[in-house]
A and B are shown apart, each in its own frame.
Chain A
Amino acid sequence: MAPSRALARLTLLRRAQQTALRRPYHSYDHPAPTGIFNAHEQAILSAAYKHVPEHGFTAQSLSLGARDAGYLDVSTNLFSEGPFSLIRYHLVTQREALAPRREAILADVTASTAVPARVERLTWERLLGNRDVNHRWQEALAIMAQPSHVPASLHELALLADEIHFLAGDTSVDPSWYTKRGGLSMIYASSELFMTNDRSPGFGNTRAFLQRRLAEAGSLSGAVGSVTQWLGFTASAGVNVLRSKGVRI
């Protein structure tokens, strides 16, 4: 009886969470669930990814990759989403590449530096991950903007913003959790678009663009914080004045 009750509770939760925003529990003790690609997909996609600089995020790259990995051309039918799975492979691998390199990326950022500096370094590092495919990235953005791929693309963007904040050691547990991630998602997406037209050496202009946007977001959140603090102070001071006058509140 007991397991069935647990099962019922879990099924109930699962049904309810179908529509809710996914943000699953991250365990340190128990192994992580397997990735979204299986071994065959992984083999084909990693081979196909090498053809992207030349052939772009296309079915052509996919079939060349399948051939390189020793599969038949027809095995690209495995990917129901076609070239989008190649884009998703790029997004997932680049996102997951941040965590192992965290120490190196943040090496010159001192421990005392605030979270925003670390967010900037990590975001820049992720943008540099687009370096090799940058000349093909506008096509990829066009595919990602197709209605059927928008939810998956936005989900990946949200995961990236969350990953960057987690690696930067952000510990917000209030609504700023949402505003920080939302803000970074918008800044990242616009910087990525800016980068596709950037011809400056080492993408220096993109970095300056990124830093300007982050500074604007920082000053905006600072202003909102100050106003909120002022309102809270005034309200509690007003209540205390009334209390000192003997009003029983």
Chain B
Amino acid sequence: MEIDQYLGVFIEESKEHLQALNQNLLELEKQPENIGVVNEIFRSAHTLKGMSATMGYQDLANLTHQMENVLDAIRNQQIKINPDILDIVFDAVDSLEEMVLDIESGGAGTKEVSELVSQLAAIESGEAPLQAAAAVAEEPVSDTSGLILDEFELAVLRESEEKGFQNFYTKVTLREDCMLKAARVYMVFEVLESLGEVVKSNPDVSQLEDEAFDLTFEVLLVTQEPKELIEEKVLKVSEIDAVSIQNFFIDTYKHIQDEGQEEVTASVDEKKVEETTIEKKAQQSNKTIRVNIERLDILMNLFEELVIDRGRLEQIADDVKHPELHETVERMARISGDLQSIVLTMRMVSIDQVFNRFPRMVRQLAKDLGKKIDLQIEGAETELDRTVIDEIGDPLVHLIRNSLDHGVETPEVRRELGKPETGTIKLKAYHSGNHVFIDITDDGAGINRKKVTEKAINNGLITKEQAAIMNDNQVFSLIMQSGFSTADTISDISGRGVGLDVVRNTIESLGGTITINSEEGKGSIFSIELPLTLSIISVLLVEIQNEKYAVPLSSIIETAIIPKADIMHVHNQAVIDFRGRVVPLVSLKEVFQVPEVKEETDYYSVVIIKKGDKSAGLIVDGFIGQQEIVLKSLGNYLTEIFAISGATILGDGQVALIIDSNALIK
């Protein structure tokens, strides 16, 4: 089908819009008065509706359509936002997300949404006018709706209420093709005046006469006649599309207005917050184009070719000693240096991509756990290589869940401890040197050292003697050992058997490290340190006979030259005593079956590598030096090669293989 070619774009954009929906809904929850946010949400929903209808996903389109209606009503201040409405809208977004994911995995994107649709429809129609009055009250500066009653009008209404009159809030909608709006208004007013007394209209009478309104106007009417009669009579006026009449109670109005005023004062405090969000928005709306990551890879490859040739050219220029050639080559080198940094930064994406799903997740989890959580995000604009971004999401989800579940206490406990009921989880990302740091800080219970050591001893991870001499950091890192969970009860959120050890493994496989700091009763900090990019890593180049191999620096403890005589054997395994530890030796020559061309010497060059707490010594023939290299895959054809994780191209254009040291440690 022709549409297939747009499917990828559709999924990609749908996801973006869903993300925007989630984000803006959370924003709206914080500041329900912010019509700008509603507009954003409306736009996303609207686009989503259009796209899904075009692509023929009917359920998706139906649900977004109904959601759009609700949002439109909110936007036009016919409905006042409340947590119930937001919950339903959130549910709707969840369903949308499920459908999009279904489409992505090849499904038809269908889902039973009729209940949600009807819920949304109920919101849209239910109690709208009364709520509108409320919205009006909360937006005193807005000129679109000015149903603000002064003392006099209130007095009139109160008096009429006491005398047994009824106050009706009447909303009249003219037909779209209505030609003489002012005339119709006049006729409606005449009808209304004949039935009772018009206390207030919005817009006011002079504006109505000038036709300075869209299609609807609102009137407060004091009358003794029944609703139905008023409705019937008003509808007799031609070119009237709809009339809705609701009882109007002063008490409700006042109550809502008071609330509104409170919120007005509150919003002054929020002004600063709003300003920063506006700033952020401006940043996000930078003009971008979508580029396939493959093309960037190709660009990178071509660029590396260029760098290798540049090296050769420099060599030639040096040999020839031609000043003009030399000058040109130098300039080219400078330009290609700039180009290199641009190519590298092009592959960088902001960590916001990962962070932006957390507010939603935390909201839900906090609800499920009955905890109050304030999630603060800092440094979402920090950039990381695409490859790292793709991998870091899951570990972070796990850590945040962990903080929520085991870290932050329930509101009751917190109150008893004299802490604010709302716990804080802070997510902070920042650059430092060639690394990116991500800190997850909570002000929860912290880690109980005693509990951890007891459990570790029970599980046979450490001995009592070891426990006594371990420092806090060592103890805390125990919770990242496999099969460790300190929560007394296994909960659905994070205690599912797969513990923090998975997190640590993932982070280490990315060439990063994770450390834990904690103070009991005050909270914990999980700090992740990650390399900026996975495509460029630091390695130690080593020689094995005539072949060159690269060992990632991240897995090297140190290098050493060891006399042959120092080698001992345990169960046929060559080992050395290295700084008081027995370290097994691995001959890379044997592992890689390197053809022998050199004579053996009396000394071995050994690279000591680590994997978690284990270590091993790799016997090589010589160290060449440390180098930054570009990581390349061996392609689809050569997969699963033992102890080789990839390849790189050296300055002379030759390929060197990168050793997967993890595979060499049993």
A binds B: no
